Structure 1
Amino acid sequence: MNLPDLRVFTVVARHDSLNAAAEELHLTPSAISKALRRLEEELGLPLFDRSTRQLVLNERGAMLLGRARTLLDLAEQARLDVQGERAEMDCRIGGPAVLLWRHGEGLAEGLQSYTGARLHLRPLFEGEALAALARGDLHAALVTQEALDSPHWSPEWDATDLGELALNVIAASRHPLAQMGQRGRKPVQAVDVLEYPFASPARSLFCGVARGSRSDGWRDDLLPRTIRYWADDLQVLLGFVREGRALAYLPDFAAGEHGLVGIRVVDLGFSSTEQVRLVWNPLRAPRWLRELAASLGNQSAS
């Protein structure tokens, strides 16, 4: 079995389609089909149940898939470690958009010495990111601690601590609440905040579960708000805040964006925090990934 044919096999198994695999690998469907036939002829067994519309792994194909991924991972790990910082490579990291936003610069900084590295950030909810990591589609996943209790979790994985993410009331710098905490003005209280409308996602920005007014972590059972704008897209949500149309309860680093500020509410009565983790497989990780995990962990500790 040669590695190029095994790579074709794993991509076809993921897509159940010759055309989709051909598009990903920049090959023709005919070339994909020939690679599968070579592999099946060498093994003397079919690996897929074929229909007019798709290819479905059979029992033998499913048995080979895990071993094929291991062989490909080991070959890629060996190549990257030998080539070192000169290696050409695609670094695939997935996770919720809000976590990619927070750690994107740190990921880029951790790969700075690898001049041939191409960083691919894939916005995926936490369960999807861990499933993609299990399939071998990602090198690492950014998730919160709560997501580690997942059916996709593997005992081979490690979870590097990237620190705490706290949520805060975020407003436009020209919003009336942004001025209240200045000298000569009274501290911002919960009753002041509730006078203004909010923008909120209808689904958790981390796991994607629909939780209605509780999706952003605000305790509406204690302090019921008026939510005027609903948007699951983070940038659309921030747009309502930047325009001064609404407040939002978001990770506090969002206050570092141009035109946005964090509002300290002196009597809020609750707080929301998330512990962030980088999940990866140290047994199959090439040097760049081990160094990246260490770099991010050191950044959070400093």
Structure 2
Amino acid sequence: MQTWIAKNRTTLVIAAVVVVAAYVFYYAKNDIAPSMYVSAWGYAIPLVLASLVGVIGERSGVVNIGIEGQMLIAAFAGFFVAAYSGSMLAGVLAGVGSGLVAGAFLAWTTVRWRMDQIIAGVVLNIVATGITSFYYTPGQILPGVIPNLTVPGLSSIPLIGDVFFTGESAIALFAIVAALLVHVGLFRTRWGLRTRAVGEYPSAADTAGIDVERLRIINVTLAGSLAGLAGVYLSMDASSTFERSMTAGRGFLALAIMIMGMWRPLRAFSMALFFGFISAVASQLQQTGGFAVPPQLTGTLPYVATLVVLAVAAGRVRAPGAVGQPYVKKDQ
């Protein structure tokens, strides 16, 4: 325990400062802070899920540029299946299932067929945009809502309970659980050890008896379900409607969050919260006014912050060693 604290001392200090600052702002600006924090978490939910997709893929050695397309297809499938079937459950399952199918497409083309991973992701994004725009039908409505849940005990914690565990969407709570499970899975289980091995040294993993291609295909495919759930949240929970290109670059922002989170699930979770808060600040500035700045400019604030943080982080983070490199056995 002491060794772990020594290695992560800087991270722990930064985390403590951020938490203290969050509580100070929460009590000092009690008129606007609660709504801002809730808004920040709402914006961060799909980013958390999407960044986990990127973490799993790149830890396995596969670059997933197609997260944007996976989310968009899932948002489309989930919304319209729910609208036509009259079942919210059917819509959620359709969204998650379409995410799995999109993940399987990316996995098969990049791992089995060894297609360039960037091109495969771009193709997925283009196909998703085309299909969802062509078959889009306005005027549809959802038959209900995704249930909100309150977690007993945790909901009574000041600030944290109010934002994360009181009347929150089931998908929002799942995003928290998913970040914890993926972190534990990557760093505390055999699956995680093998995943990191095929992402760093696939030849060594193959020598140890790990089927590199099979594990990569399984990981990228299953990670698609998280992208599907992120899309479902956007169309069936956050907005309760579907619009063309409604993902609005969130898939690409999730990749930036993954990089700034150093390919670690919990750090990616914290970075998603950071950008959610920046978006909440931008929204607050637009509502309250007082600044002679066009709303279109304040709306770019999260993306400007992304560029700044990426510029600061450049050269200080290291991607998995074999990411983006198709693995070919020597006897093939």
Same fold per TM (> 0.5)?
Answer: no
The structure whose Rg is larger is 1
**Is the strand fraction higher in 1 or 2?**
1
TM tier relative to shorter chain? under 0.3
TM-score scaled by length of structure 1: 0.24
TM-score of the two chains, using structure 2 as the length reference: 0.22
